[in-house]
Amino acid sequence: MAGDCSFDIVSQFDEQELLNALDQTRREVQTRYDLKDTKTEIVYNKDTVTIVTDSSLTLKNVRDILESKAARRNLSLKIFKLAKEENAAGGRIRQVITLQQGLSQELAKEVSKYIREMHPKVRPQVQADMIRVTAKSRDELQAVIASLKQKDYPVALQYINYRN
C-alpha cells in the first residue's frame, strides 16, 4: 500500500468568501438607486441565507447581485439551494436560501459507483461526507478527476488532499 496515491472528493465552500460576497451584496443594495429604498435585509445563519425585501422583482435583483458576487469570489452557484418565495410581515417577500455542503450518502454512492465503472483500477471509498479515491498511479487519479468534471452533479465537487 506504500506506493498508492490518493485524493479526497468533497463538497464544501469557503465560508469567509461567502461572508465577503454577502457583505458586498449588502453594500451594493444600499447604494444602487433602484434598490436603495427597499429596506432589503440579508441575514446569514450557519447553513442558510435569508433575503427579505419589498417585491419579487427586487428579490430577483438582489439574488442576481449575490450570485454575481459569489461567482467572482470563485464560489460555485450550486451551493445555493433556493426555497420558494413566501410572504413576510408588512406585505414583504422572503426567500430562504439553503447552503449545500457535504456529500449526501446517495450522491456519494452514485459517484463511487460511476468511478468503479469508468476506472476499474481505482478504489473509491465513502467516508462520512467525502470519498477517498486510491490508485497505483497519479495518471489514473487525474483521469478520474477529468471524467468527474465532465459530469454535472447537483453539488460542487472539490478534489483535495492529493497525496503520493
Query: Is 118 in the same domain as 86?
Result: no
- Pick out the chain residues at pLDDT < 70: 1-3
User: Domain span at residue 66?
Assistant: 15-99
Q: Tell me: do 57 and 126 sit in the same domain.
A: no
The string of pLDDT tens digits covering residues 107-132 is: 999 999 999 999 998 999 998 889 99
Q: Please count the structural domains in the chain.
A: 2
Q: Distance between the two ends of the chain, CA-based, in angstroms?
A: 11
- Output the pLDDT for position 1: 47
Residues 51 and 70 in one domain: yes
The confidence score (pLDDT) of residue 2 equals 53
Task: Show Cβ contacts of residue 122 under 8 Å, excluding neighbours closer than 6 positions.
Answer: 115, 116, 133, 134, 135, 140, 141, 144
Nearest to 100 by CA among 8, 26, 18: 18
pTM, entire model = 0.83
Among 75, 99, 123, the domain-final residue is 99
Considering the domain architecture, whether residues 71 and 84 belong to the same structural domain is answered as yes
Q: Does residue 24 sit in the same domain as residue 58?
A: yes
- Here the CATH number for the domain that contains residue 64 is 3.30.70.990
Per residue in 95-113, pLDDT (tens digit) is 999 999 988 899 999 999 9
**Which of these three, 58, 83, 99, is where a domain ends?**
99
Provide the pLDDT for residue 53: 92
